Amino acid sequence: MPRLYHPGFTGNQRKPVQRREKESRNYKAATIRYTPSLQLFYDVVATGRLVIKQAIKSSQFDDAQWALKVIRRLPSNTRVRRKYFFNVIKTVKDITIQAIKDNKLDDAKSALDIIQQLTDISTIVGP
């Protein structure tokens, strides 16, 4: 009768080896599925930022609000979202300061409204 730990003995070795292969295959599939969705999130966020910038520059605040709604509905990692919101708030703040310097107070008021909406969203996202 062969010893159990003998290298030629396959009776007990077969199952663990198969299980390990199966796990690694699932892991690869999961990483492949995960990456494009995150990339898509970043793309949507980048597009949303552009839309918001352009909308504020051309005083079309409905477009900016629409972009914020799209971003608000994105499922994602909270940290990524928080970082994004800070970036948008910074962009809007810069535009507000520029509008005040140029004496365009309507634009500044609208930009401040957008900041107000953003802070409402960030309470949903977290501190």
- Tell me what pLDDT residue 84 has: 66
- What is 58-98 written as a DSSP string? TT-HHHHHHHHHHHHT----HHHHHHHHHHHHHHHHHHHHH
pLDDT averaged over every residue in the chain: 60
Structure tokens at 4: 């159990």
pLDDT(123) > 50: no
- Is residue 92 a contact partner of residue 121, using CB atoms and an 8 Å limit? no
> Once rounded to an integer, what is the mean pLDDT over residues 18-26?
49
Q: How many helices (H) and strands (E) does the chain have?
A: 4, 0
Quote the CA–CA distance of 45 and 86 in Å, as a whole number.
12
Quote the CA–CA distance of 54 and 64 in Å, as a whole number.
8
- Tell me what pLDDT residue 54 has: 72
- Residue 64 C-beta-side C-alpha neighbours within 13 Å: 25
In the chain, the amino acid numbered 23 is E
Length of the chain counted residue by residue: 127
- Tell me what pLDDT residue 94 has: 72
Q: pLDDT tens-digit profile of 76-110? A: 555 566 666 666 667 766 776 777 777 766 666 77
- Tell me what pLDDT residue 32 has: 43
pTM here?
A: 0.32
- Tell me what pLDDT residue 38 has: 60
In the chain, the amino acid numbered 80 is V
